[in-house]
Chain A
Amino acid sequence: MQKNDRTHFILNPGRLRRQDNNIYFDKYDDEMSVVATKILPINAVDEIYILAKVDMDSYTMAFLADNNVLLHIFSPYQSFRGNFFPNTSNSVNKSGFVLLQQLRSFDDEIKRSYIAREITRVHILNDALNCKKYGVKFDTAPHISALEAAKTIPEIMAVEGSFQKLYYEKWNEIITDQKSFKFTVRSKRPPADKINSFISYVNTRIYNVCLSEIYKTELDPRIGFLHEPNYRSLSLHLDLAEIFKPILGDTLIFSMLNKKEITAKDFETNAGRIKFTNEAVQKIEMKMISKLTDQIEAGGQKLTWRQIIRREANRLKKCICENAPYEGFVYQ
């Protein structure tokens, strides 16, 4: 049973290299000379997040590939650039059958909207439960009934959009620090204010966790059901994240802001763009990792949140492959 969240973050510039069947990280200073070396035990690392400029060679990458270590690469503004996913004899995500079934389910309009509707329904329920936990009244009934009436994907998206707008308005009742973290409007690329910047960072993290769990199943992350796959490279992890964003991300934002663990000082502005300082990233990640390693009871088993996400992906896979009824995860 995997209990630890085996994720490693690289926040400083340096060099990642292989030596003797292990991975070493040499930290650079400003003049590109090595100031410290750290060993990353290969068997104890599942994912490496790179948030700084890192040198790497193909020998190291082949070694990471052999050991099924996933690399996520980010830009200096903490937006997602891409990932290096190993494709070796060890990797399991190579099933033509599942890919075909996924494409067929996507083309089947009834099945696609069935899956999309279920994902949105669970998303709305999880959001409403969040509000309830913080003592804020929120009526979901009109949204749920509108969702049931929605036939096509754009209609479902419209229901989701109008719901999301109302939900974000409720945030002003939940978050106590209204001076620096007042929510006015959701803005992305780049986020305009601190709260939007926080939401974007946490959501990106959850997208990546979902993406790595999808990679561990045979599903293809390129074909999503709720999100239109035409205009982006990956979309299935966005669907899966809809279910877990309220449970993992939003609660983390609320508790960190209300406990004053993140304040206005944790942001730095550079040419009009807002980003977290490295210390703030560390604080958030500690919280995020402890959240992801929490074990909860689901289906008669004790599972970590990561395993729950994978279980959800597996359920989706079962629905895709065998037309089994799909019921999303609602966290009570």
Chain B
Amino acid sequence: MFSKDQIAGTLVNYYITCKREAWLYAHHIYPDQEDENMALGRVMAEIKEQNLQDFAFANLKFDKLSKERGHYLVTEYKKSLKNPEAGKMQLLFYLYLLKIGLRLKDVKGRLISGKSVFLVDASEENLNMIKEILIDIEKLVNMPTAPKFEYKKICDNCAYRNYCM
């Protein structure tokens, strides 16, 4: 039985992108590790910036957390922002857990990809949205089989393509 506290940020991101991908990832069926985009992502995780530090809390593994004037700032790096919604939800999930787990009062999120920057706010409305998504994820992952494969445009560049297709 998969419980809600096993959910990690990547799973939230995958859930928004593709339900099948999320199911596979949760069952430890991993994508091709030698895929170009996977390798790039791994390198992205090593980027360091000033005033930022690694931070480990529960199964959160977000890229960086920094303390700004009056609030904390969670930073997430993405290679591209083809799917900004997924990145935003991933950040929101981090903010949600930080608010609940560490009782931080003021947390903000920042999504960086190249020169474009998105800011994510932990407002009441957003937090309710992520709460519902987490319930949906738990339901999806506890299904006995993966959702059926349907060809979409993103499948061509997905690291799971050799498995799904």
Contacts and interface: CB of A to CB of B under 8 A. Distances in A.
A2 B165 contact: no
Interface string A1-39: 110000000000000000000000000000000000000
Contacts of A318: 163-164
Contacts of B32: 216, 310
Interface in B114-165: 145-146, 161-165
A21 B119 CA distance: 38
Interface stretch (B22-30, B62-70, B76-84, B94-102): B22-30
Interface string A67-106: 0000000000000000000000000101111100000000
B28 A98 contact: yes
Interface in B1-50: 27-30, 32-34, 36
Contacts of A310: 32, 162
Interface residues of B, number: 15
Interface string A298-332: 01010000010011001001100110000000000
Contacts of B29: 95, 97-98, 218, 317, 321
A311 B162 CA distance: 6
A169 B26 CA distance: 50
A310 B34 CA distance: 11
B162 A218 contact: no
Contacts of B145: 322
B28 A94 contact: yes
B28 A218 contact: yes
A322 B36 CA distance: 27
Contacts of A311: 162
Contact of B163 (A96, A97, A317): A317
A49 to B, nearest CB: 19
Contacts of B161: 301
Nearest to A312: B162
A216 B27 CA distance: 16
Contacts of A216: 32-34
Nearest to A313: B162
Nearest to B163: A314
A2 B27 contact: no
Contacts of B30: 92, 95, 218
A97 B1 CA distance: 12
A299 B29 CA distance: 21
A254 B138 CA distance: 55
B118 to A, nearest CB: 30
Nearest to B145: A322
A301 B157 CA distance: 11
Contacts of A1: 36
Contacts of B146: 321-322
Nearest to A317: B163
A174 to B, nearest CB: 33
Contact of A97 (B27, B34, B164, B165): B27
B153 to A, nearest CB: 14
A318 B146 CA distance: 11
A50 to B, nearest CB: 23
Contacts of B34: 2, 216
Nearest to A1: B36
Contacts of B165: 299
A322 B163 CA distance: 11
Nearest to B164: A318
Given A310-B162, A318-B163, A97 B36 contact: no
Contact of B27 (A92, A98, A301, A307): A98
Contacts of B164: 318
A245 B117 CA distance: 52
A95 B163 contact: no
Given A97-B27, A218-B28, A322-B146, A92 B33 contact: yes
A216 B36 CA distance: 15
Interface in A81-133: 92, 94-98
Contacts of A218: 28-30
8 contacts: A95-B29, A96-B28, A299-B165, A317-B163, A321-B29, A321-B146, A322-B145, A322-B146
Given A96-B28, A301-B161, A322-B145, 15 more contacts: A2-B34, A92-B33, A94-B28, A95-B29, A97-B27, A97-B29, A98-B27, A98-B28, A216-B32, A218-B28, A218-B29, A218-B30, A307-B162, A318-B163, A318-B164
A-B complex: 8 closest residue pairs judged by Cβ atoms: A95-B28, A97-B27, A92-B30, A314-B163, A311-B162, A314-B162, A2-B34, A218-B29
